[in-house]
Amino acid sequence: MPRTRTTSKRSSRAAEATSPDTLRVRMYRIGFGDFFLVTVPSLDGPQHIVIDCGVTKGKSGKGDIATIKAAVRHMADETDRQLALIIATHRHQDHIIGFSRCGDEFSHFDIGAVWMSYWETEYPQVQQFQADLANLALGLQSVALAGAPDDHTAEILGIVENATGVSPTEGPGGGTNAKSLAMLKTGLKVDPEYYHAGQTPKLPKGLVKAGLEAAILGPPPAKAGDFLALEDFKKQYLGAAAGGASPTTIMPFGNNYIAPRRARDYPPSAFREWAPRRKGQRPDFTERHAAQLEDAVKRAIPESLFVAAKKLDNMLNNQSLVVLFTWKGQKLLFAGDAQAGNWEYWLYDLDKRVKDPSTLPMTQAGKDILGSIVFYKVGHHGSTNATPITAVEAMGTDFVAMCSTEGGTFGSVENESEVPRAPLLAALATKSAVVRSDQIAVDVEGKKVGAAADTPAHPATPKRGKFVVGSCYIDYFL
């Protein structure tokens, strides 16, 4: 596609939008997902960074407002298909599906560098870990699909679809997570750099010349893998885990019906299917392979499925690349979907996870960063389990918080799990000017989407810089 096609249009629009000495953060409204364009002014012209490009329809099916393709085309015109850097924070559909759904568009881009999470490295252990997660997701999907539909399965399927990028009940609007990852890793004519906390990233020259600096705060490296797996709900903004509150357990039968010798009360032939199979060897049918059977049954119960789905979700979120940009001494924090484990790793400088780190002193570096940020990309679309309370407390008082989200996609107010979570946004609003993507109406390429219900009509006024609302995005000029 000839580049010249849009040049004249672009330059006039760019001239209107970007003043030469101001950094701009553009948040596109594409539904439940992240799509940010950071534009840094420089003597060589504006330098563009895309941070994530994805959307998911979620439990309610309403998360995808079908504007992502138009938004990507808009971004292509805006940047003249020249991107200094693409950052893909983690492999969830709501952060990367756009790279394959709009793969044709991206394949025409000129890209300086791609940054991805260390957890996307092609190391065998890491690949195995990701493959295990993908298998778990597929397993969850098939079991959840086997049952009649109910609220629980809808939530599980929403989570799993986000993790795999493959929809179980209908064809996707284009793209899968696997295709997006392939695009990012091999389809953009540039090899990605994989980073974890503490590494110094290599900024493309154009950005260095523009005076930008970058530091990587997350994810934790592989040796600290347990930070990914766990998360401490207690300190988060929630009363109950999203929908996970279990009804009172019932005892279907008296204790006298319980087999006293457990599996040994059954013949070994009852466990034949669970005998481990090895090639060239006859399976051992004389043993009772009870542990395997017990696991299989546990996996089939929705409650345990639900817990597994949430855990999977958290693991992937915690793989998020957390980037701190500094421009003219001003700090901008892009937290991806980092959850407790990811935050704690860099806020508390721990070797191992502890039960309640909030009682420990936060590192001075952590305090300095949070105390001085001028911009915060609200983690995980404003969900209850991202952005720890202690982090909000440590943040300064005059920054801008941008939350890319779509109300009514995941969770519910009754369960105190709605996304974005009202108390979190309220807490942030006491310290910052909060704006959410679903509060702006979209009117692009003839497609119109109204603002989400119960959102403020106008963005708050920031103490420094300004917000400008566009056709399918909102800009923050620093």
State the residues that interact with other proteins by CB under 8 A.
Answer: 55, 57, 60-62, 64-70, 101, 142-143, 145-150, 168-174, 247, 249-254, 257-259, 262-263, 265-267, 269-273, 293-294, 296-298, 300-304, 445, 447
- 316 CB-near residues (< 8 Å, 6+ apart): 90, 91, 92, 133, 163, 337
Number of Cβ within a 10 Å radius of residue 71: 26
- How near is the Cβ of 276 to other proteins at its closest, in Å? 14
CA–CA distance, 311 with 359 (Å, rounded to integer): 24
Structure tokens at 233: 């709900």
Closer residue to other proteins in complex, CB, 93/339 = 93
The interaxial angle of helices 177-186 and 93-101, nearest 10 deg, is 70
Helices 302-318, 290-300: crossing angle, 10 deg rounding: 80
For 142, the enclosing helix (H) or strand (E) is helix 124-146
d(CA 463, CA 431): 10
Please state the closest distance from residue 107 (CB atom) to other proteins, in A. 17
Q: How far is the CB of 271 from other proteins (least distance, A)?
A: 8
* Eight-class DSSP state of 438: G
Q: Least distance from C-beta 99 to other proteins, angstroms?
A: 14
Q: Which is nearer to other proteins, 136 or 378 (CB)?
A: 136
Query: What span, in angstroms and rounded, lies between the C-alpha atoms of 39 and 437?
Result: 18
Nearer to other proteins, 152 or 331 (CB): 152
Closer Cβ to other proteins, 105 or 213, answer by number: 105
343 and 370 in contact (C-beta within 8 Å)? Answer: no
- Give 37 or 392: the residue with its C-beta nearer to other proteins: 37
Nearer to other proteins, 60 or 326 (CB): 60
C-beta of residue 177 within 8 angstroms of C-beta of residue 96? yes
Q: Strand 447-449 relative to strand 466-469: parallel, antiparallel, unpaired?
A: unpaired
Rank residues 66 and 422 by Cβ distance to other proteins and give the closer one.
66
Minimum CB distance to other proteins, residue 18 (Å): 25
CA–CA distance from 336 to each of 45, 97, 123, 164, 404 (Å)? 27, 15, 23, 18, 11
Beta carbon nearer to other proteins, 135 or 304: 304
Tally of CA atoms within 13 A in the half-sphere of 262 that contains its CB: 6
Contact 96, 181 (CB under 8 A): yes
Least spacing, CB of residue 113 vs other proteins, in Å: 28
Shortest Cβ 162–other proteins spacing (Å)? 13
* Residue 190 CB neighbours (<10 A): 19
Q: How far is the CB of 446 from other proteins (least distance, A)?
A: 9
Nearer to other proteins, 169 or 397 (CB): 169
Shortest separation between residue 409's beta carbon and other proteins, angstroms: 11
Do 99 and 83 contact (CB within 8 A), yes or no?
no
* Tokens describing residue 426: 């309220």
**Could you give the CA distance from residue 178 to residue 29 in angstroms, rounded to a whole number?**
24
**Least distance in angstroms from the C-beta of 266 to other proteins:** 6
Which is closer to other proteins, CB of 208 or CB of 270? 270
